């Protein structure tokens, strides 16, 4: 039986375990990326591990999320990251140079390599034929120290692409279509590999849009082959030497196959408030909009923005629409500036934003109340834009510009002024304008030793977890429903600047569930912690969807949360819970979820014993009225981490 490309690359990097789907394996990591919102913690933890120069082939630290600079926090973080990078042999991409995934694809991504990033959209790199996986900062720190990355070898879902995209239909529509088929839940334990005749028709940036938003499926990662398109892209980036052809065997067997005929696709939109709430744009056409934003790591490549500029040239944005453009990288912005496309957008009424994540993570441009906001981003979780009750639709850049001109949601094929216009398809440039002057290269060993690390007062070293109690006495602090995202658990937006200060940031854990006039989640949790009682969270399906932010485990841990009992838990979040010694438990009988309520006092006798060796544990209500079984789906390594009081404690112990 032939091998998938995914398993070929995995095999070349295997250092522990055997290559069988469902088995725990350890792989060698060639490259890492961190970004500022997860990076300060990652580097603080890296320092706590006592590690010196990084042991990877290449590690890059990006500043792209937290750039608004309200107060000293952001700049303190930037300076810490810049100096710690210099100290540890890490490349540093400065604020303004672009979004980590876009820049990494342009300047560092390499077919056949492995990349671990402290950001869930790291799989963007799959567009260039690498295994690129998102993880918590602590796992990335361990990889920087030369340790393997541990994961469950996934099954491989083959997506066969046939046909060809029609004019005005985009790569974004391909991944929205897949989201409509697979949804955002139930895909843990799978990786996606694209194959089929249509792959050759997609450029690397188009492929990267598709693999980027694979994060919303909840899969381990997504990958495309490395072929002539990859070669052209790398040559245009003046990195021809990084190219190698890579493909699955022709008789590769996939664990499941989904077919998508690109010729049959039409413009799509993910409606509020989930990326899998997908409808065709024609179904929702006519809905009045107040905002449009083009950007984010999903859709801010040179081709995306050039297409937008060409459509906008000589036209005017509807006067009731605020239209923002955030180029993905300085490379893209420079090229648009040089060839006049930027001026076309400005003349059309665009607000040009900084190259960075910006509105995608709620850093400004929040929509007015009740207003529909159309974005080319990848997530529209409730409130993520910074507005409570927001109505955010996710679309392609083609649909975004057509709608911005019309003032209402519009399929670009139906906009009267575009009907006779030629689709401005933008070819890959023969050569991108390369300027790496905002990427600081690692220093020599001697110089690195002399670097003094800048530690601003807003950066607080996070505390390590306490050991698990033999028996756990706890209380359900919160009972929540299905698809709770890390944005629900740990809001970003205006609170993002608190990432380097866990005690402060922890005050807004589960902020969205707080009720006015009542004690907040954090206040209740701390009160319980003061009494020596553990906090417990009860949840439905797919708990912890979305980002890789380990603060969604680290801050609850700080507040005394010791267990999450859910119908199912997403991959990255589960790993983060384990790393910070919160026990992830699943209901053996999903119906038992209905019998729990907030405030219930629970007892788990023999917790440590169960974590040592059992796949189950008994959970009882303290008043004796009800007992149920919890499942522990843990690898031997997960158990070791939990028993050691978290990953940091384990790493320290191993170093002794």
Our measurement of the distance from residue 165's CA atom to the centroid of its chain's CA atoms, rounded to an integer in Å, reads 26
Residue 296 binds which of ligand MIC, ligand SF4, none (CB < 5-8 A, kind-dependent) = ligand SF4
Return contacts of 248-252, CB within 8 angstroms, 24+ apart: 248/2, 248/3, 248/4, 248/5, 248/6, 248/8, 248/193, 248/195, 249/2, 249/3, 249/4, 250/2, 251/1, 251/2, 252/1, 252/2, 252/3, 252/4, 252/5, 252/158, 252/195
According to CB under 6 A, which one of 116, 182, 191, 360 is a site residue for ligand SF4? Answer: 360
**Interface residues with ligand MIC (CB under 6 A)?**
37-38, 65, 119-121, 134, 361, 492, 546-549
Q: How far is the CB of 79 from ligand SF4 (least distance, A)?
A: 21
According to CB under 6 A, which one of 357, 400, 472, 583 is a site residue for ligand SF4? Answer: 357
Residue 321 binds which of ligand SF4, ligand MIC, none (CB < 5-8 A, kind-dependent) = none
3-state helix, strand, coil in the chain (%, to 5): 35, 20, 40
Decide: is 296 part of the binding site for ligand SF4 (CB under 6 A). yes
Residue 38 binds which of ligand SF4, ligand MIC, none (CB < 5-8 A, kind-dependent) = ligand MIC
Spell out the residues 6+ positions from residue 517 whose beta carbon is closer than 8 angstroms to its own: none
Q: How far is the CB of 589 from ligand SF4 (least distance, A)?
A: 36
Catalytic residue among 330, 375, 379, 573: 379
Taking the least distance from each CB to ligand SF4, the nearer of 357 and 400 is: 357
Catalytic residue among 547, 568, 573, 638: 547
Taking the least distance from each CB to ligand SF4, the nearer of 99 and 476 is: 99
**Beta pairing, strands 472-479 & 114-117:** unpaired
Catalytic residue among 549, 551, 571, 647: 549
Measure CA of the first residue to CA of the last residue in the chain; give whole Å.
Answer: 45
Decide: is 310 part of the binding site for ligand SF4 (CB under 6 A). no
Residue 548 binds which of ligand SF4, ligand MIC, none (CB < 5-8 A, kind-dependent) = ligand MIC
Spell out the residues 6+ positions from residue 242 whose beta carbon is closer than 8 angstroms to its own: 110, 111, 234
Candidates 252-260, 264-272, 354-362, 530-538: pick the segment binding ligand SF4 (CB under 6 A): 354-362
Decide: is 361 part of the binding site for ligand SF4 (CB under 6 A). yes
Decide: is 97 part of the binding site for ligand SF4 (CB under 6 A). no
Reduce the DSSP state of residue 110 to 3 states and report it. coil
Catalytic residue among 30, 36, 119, 344: 119
Alpha-carbon dihedral angle through residues 19, 25, 28, 33, given to the nearest 10 degrees: 120
547 is catalytic: yes
379 is catalytic: yes
Cα→Cα distances 239→93, 231, 467, 503, Å: 18, 9, 48, 44
Taking the least distance from each CB to ligand MIC, the nearer of 134 and 474 is: 134
Rounded distance between C-alpha atoms, residue 171 and residue 211, angstroms: 10
Kindly write out the interface string for residues 64-83 of this chain, putting x where it contacts ligand SF4 by CB under 6 A and - elsewhere.
-x------------------
Taking the least distance from each CB to ligand MIC, the nearer of 297 and 405 is: 297
Decide: is 38 part of the binding site for ligand SF4 (CB under 6 A). no
Candidates 273-281, 334-342, 357-365, 392-400: pick the segment binding ligand SF4 (CB under 6 A): 357-365
Reduce the DSSP state of residue 588 to 3 states and report it. coil
Taking the least distance from each CB to ligand SF4, the nearer of 357 and 632 is: 357
Rounded distance between C-alpha atoms, residue 207 and residue 225, angstroms: 10
65 is catalytic: yes
Rounded distance between C-alpha atoms, residue 297 and residue 460, angstroms: 29
Residue 385 binds which of ligand MIC, ligand SF4, none (CB < 5-8 A, kind-dependent) = none
Residue 116 binds which of ligand SF4, ligand MIC, none (CB < 5-8 A, kind-dependent) = none
Cα→Cα distances 590→230, 333, 537, 541, Å: 45, 50, 15, 9
Our measurement of the distance from residue 52's CA atom to the centroid of its chain's CA atoms, rounded to an integer in Å, reads 27
Rounded distance between C-alpha atoms, residue 253 and residue 31, angstroms: 28
Task: Locate 36 and state its tokens.
Answer: 């500022």
64 is catalytic: yes
Q: So which residues are the catalytic ones?
A: 64-65, 119, 379, 547, 549
- Residues at the site binding ligand SF4, with contacts judged by CB under 6 A: 65, 99, 119, 121, 296-297, 357, 360-361, 378
């Amino acid at each position: 039986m032939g091998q998938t490309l995914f398993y070929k690359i995995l095999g070349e990097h295997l250092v522990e375990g055997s290559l069988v789907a469902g088995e725990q394996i350890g792989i060698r990591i060639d490259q890492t990326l961190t970004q500022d919102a997860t990076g300060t913690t990652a580097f603080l933890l890296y320092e706590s591990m006592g590690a010196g120069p990084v042991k990877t082939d290449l590690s890059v630290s990006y500043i792209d999320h937290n750039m608004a600079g309200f107060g000293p926090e952001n700049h303190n973080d930037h300076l810490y990251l810049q100096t710690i990078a210099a100290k540890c042999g890490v490349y540093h991409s400065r604020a303004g140079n672009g979004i980590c995934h876009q820049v990494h694809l342009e300047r560092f991504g390499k077919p056949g390599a492995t990349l671990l990033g402290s950001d869930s959209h790291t799989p963007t790199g799959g567009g260039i034929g690498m295994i690129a996986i998102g993880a918590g900062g602590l796992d990335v720190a361990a990889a920087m120290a030369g340790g393997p990355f541990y994961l469950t070898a996934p099954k491989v879902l083959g997506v066969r692409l046939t046909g060809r995209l029609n004019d005005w239909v985009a790569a974004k529509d391909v991944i929205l279509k897949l989201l409509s088929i697979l949804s955002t839940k139930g895909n843990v334990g799978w990786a996606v590999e694209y194959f089929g005749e249509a792959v050759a028709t997609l450029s690397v940036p188009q492929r990267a849009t598709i693999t980027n938003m694979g994060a919303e499926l909840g899969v381990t990662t997504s990958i495309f082959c490395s072929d002539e398109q990859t070669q052209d892209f790398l040559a245009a980036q003046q990195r021809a030497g990084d190219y190698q052809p890579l493909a699955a065997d022709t008789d590769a067997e996939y664990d499941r196959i989904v077919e998508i005929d690109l010729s049959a696709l039409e413009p799509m939109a993910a409606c509020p408030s989930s990326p899998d709430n997908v409808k065709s744009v024609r179904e929702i056409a006519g809905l009045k909009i107040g905002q449009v934003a083009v950007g984010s790591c999903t859709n801010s490549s040179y081709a995306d923005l050039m297409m937008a500029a060409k459509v906008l040239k000589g036209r005017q944005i509807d006067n009731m629409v605020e239209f923002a453009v955030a180029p993905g990288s300085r490379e893209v912005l420079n090229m648009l500036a040089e060839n006049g496309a930027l001026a076309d957008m400005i003349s059309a009424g665009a607000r040009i934003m900084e190259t960075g994540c910006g509105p995608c993570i709620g850093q400004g441009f929040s929509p007015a109340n009740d207003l529909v906001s159309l974005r080319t981003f990848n997530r529209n979780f409730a409130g993520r834009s910074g507005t409570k009750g927001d109505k955010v639709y996710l679309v392609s850049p083609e649909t975004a510009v057509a709608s911005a001109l019309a003032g209402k949601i519009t399929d670009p094929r139906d906009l009267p002024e575009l009907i006779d216009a030629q689709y401005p398809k933008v070819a890959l440039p023969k050569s991108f304008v390369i300027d790496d002057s905002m990427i600081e290269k690692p220093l020599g060993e001697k110089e690195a030793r002399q670097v003094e690390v800048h530690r601003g007062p807003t950066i607080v070293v996070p505390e390590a977890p306490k050991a698990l109690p033999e028996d756990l006495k706890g209380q359900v602090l919160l009972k929540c429903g299905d698809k709770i995202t890390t944005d629900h658990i740990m809001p970003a937006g205006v609170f993002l600047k608190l990432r380097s200060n866990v005690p402060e940031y922890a005050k807004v854990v589960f902020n969205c569930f707080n009720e006015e006039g009542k004690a907040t989640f954090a206040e209740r949790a701390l009160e319980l912690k003061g009494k020596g009682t553990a906090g417990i969270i009860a949840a439905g399906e797919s708990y912890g969807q979305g980002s890789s932010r380990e603060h969604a485990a680290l801050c609850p841990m700080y507040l005394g949360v010791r267990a999450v009992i859910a119908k199912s838990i997403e991959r990255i979040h589960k790993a983060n819970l384990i790393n910070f010694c919160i026990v992830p438990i699943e209901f053996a009988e999903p119906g038992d979820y209905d019998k729990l309520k907030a405030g219930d006092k629970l007892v788990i006798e023999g917790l440590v014993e169960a974590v040592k060796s059992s796949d189950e544990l008994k959970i009882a209500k303290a008043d004796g009225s009800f007992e149920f079984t919890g499942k522990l789906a843990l690898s031997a390594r997960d158990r070791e981490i939990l028993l050691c009081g978290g990953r940091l404690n384990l790493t320290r112990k191993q170093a002794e």
